[in-house]
């Protein structure tokens, strides 16, 4: 997928986007864990 992005948008843009978005995704995951809590469980819904 990155290869296609490099082809269309260039290597500079791809590296910059990756360097910005990867730490941002990690930060959002950390915040979500703090808000929801570590004991959160997904339950199956029966139709």
pLDDT in tens, 19-37: 999 999 999 999 998 998 8
Element (H, E) at 32: helix 11-36
Q: What is the pLDDT of residue 12?
A: 95
Q: Is the pLDDT of residue 15 over 90?
A: yes
Residues 6+ apart with CB under 8 A from 2: 14, 18
Average pLDDT, the chain: 90
- pTM of this prediction? 0.62
Tokens for 41? Answer: 């469980």
Sequence ranges of the domains in the chain = 2-36
What is the model's pLDDT at position 41? 83
Lookup: tokens for 16: 């910059």
pLDDT of residue 38: 75
In whole angstroms, give the CA distance from residue 6 to residue 12.
8
């Amino acid at each position: 997928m990155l290869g296609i992005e490099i082809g269309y948008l260039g290597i500079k843009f791809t590296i910059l986007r990756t360097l910005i978005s990867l730490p941002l995704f990690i930060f959002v995951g950390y915040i979500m864990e703090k808000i929801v809590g570590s004991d959160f469980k997904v339950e199956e819904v029966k139709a």
